[in-house]
Amino acid sequence: MELDLEDKVAVVTGASKGIGLAITKALAREGARVVAGARTIDALSGLDRVTAVALDLVAPEGPARLIGRALDDHGRLDVLVNNVGAVKMRLQGFLGTSDDDFAWSMQTNFFAALRATRAALPAMLSQGAGSIVNIASVNAFFEPDAGVLDYGAAKAALLNLTKSLAQEFGSKGVRVNAISPGPVSTDLWLGKDGVAHTVARATGVDPDTARKNVLASIGGLATGRLTTPEEVATLAVLLSSPLTGNVTGSNFVVDGGLIKTT
């Protein structure tokens, strides 16, 4: 399917690995010119149609710098994918999660997207068109335990912002949608500081057993496997396309059947 993204200008945050890298590559394959931001950019080196920008997106000035680079290089901005995010397992629950822990999660998972959106909107409004895709999480509304309570709160804020911005700017041609992945085969789940390894160290089992135990404890996946970053990227690219021009204020769950309710 032709998605009408040829020579559109897209910014992707947290673009150097996992979902962000998959989205960057998928947008470039569709002909978009991608300005990809991350702290380390080695994985982005040599990608056709991709400009890699090394910067800290959690720093207050970072998101605006990335948007500014896209506008300086290309003179327009058509797509923003707010992907940057991180989680730390809170094995001590609510009483063991400090204000600083919550602040870290909000800065990483909410304020980085908020600032990037604030920087991107003027350019989109001036051209009367744009698409913003926020990568949220099922943990915004699904909290089977306290292990990611601060992360879930931050992602819930991002979902709320998505709805609000869609209402405010829909009549001006700017669409804002969210994707809420469940467990994805990225460092967040499988890395040395991810869910599986963290739970493994705490419970005295190997990471693969820990991963299976965690998934079983939250109800299991109907497909029996983690979502791939490329599957999330496919949906992000579709939402970036003008072909989904009347889709806004929506949240799309990609979770392998984790959420059982309607």
151 included as an active-site residue: yes
- Burial profile 152-190: b = 16 or more Cβ within 10 angstroms, e = fewer: bbbbbbbbebbbebbeebeeeebbbbbbbbbbbebebbb
Name the pLDDT band for 121 (thresholds 50, 70, 90).
very high
Question: pLDDT tens across 2-16, in order?
Answer: 999 999 999 999 999
What's this model's pTM, rounded to 2 decimal places? 0.95
Q: What are phi and psi of 177, to 5 degrees?
A: -130, 170
Within 13 Å, how many C-alpha atoms sit on residue 67's CB side? 25
Q: What is the distance of C-alpha 21 from the center of its chain?
A: 11
Joined tokens for residue 248 = 């806004």
End-to-end CA distance of the chain: 30
Segment 107-134 mean pLDDT? 98
| pLDDT of amino acid 211 | 87
**Least confident piece of the model among 8-17, 21-30, 217-226, 237-246:** 217-226
Catalytic-role residue among 110, 151, 169, 189 = 151
Helix 99-106 / helix 149-169 crossing angle, nearest 10 deg: 40
| pLDDT of amino acid 193 | 80
- Geometric angle at alpha carbon 127, from 235 and 49, rounded to 5°: 50
Question: 183: Cβ–Cβ under 8 A, 6 or more apart, which residues?
Answer: 189, 195, 215, 221, 226, 227, 255, 256, 258
Name the pLDDT band for 103 (thresholds 50, 70, 90).
very high
The strand order across the sheet containing 174-181 reads: 50-54, 33-38, 9-13, 79-82, 130-135, 174-181, 251-254
| pLDDT of amino acid 190 | 84
Question: pLDDT tens across 146-184, in order?
Answer: 899 999 999 999 999 999 999 999 999 999 999 999 999
Segment 70-86 mean pLDDT? 98
Name the average pLDDT for the chain: 96
Q: Is 219 helix (H, G, I), strand (E, B) or coil?
A: coil
Question: pLDDT tens across 34-69, in order?
Answer: 999 999 999 999 999 999 999 999 999 999 999 999
Closest CA to 113 of 172, 37, 173: 37
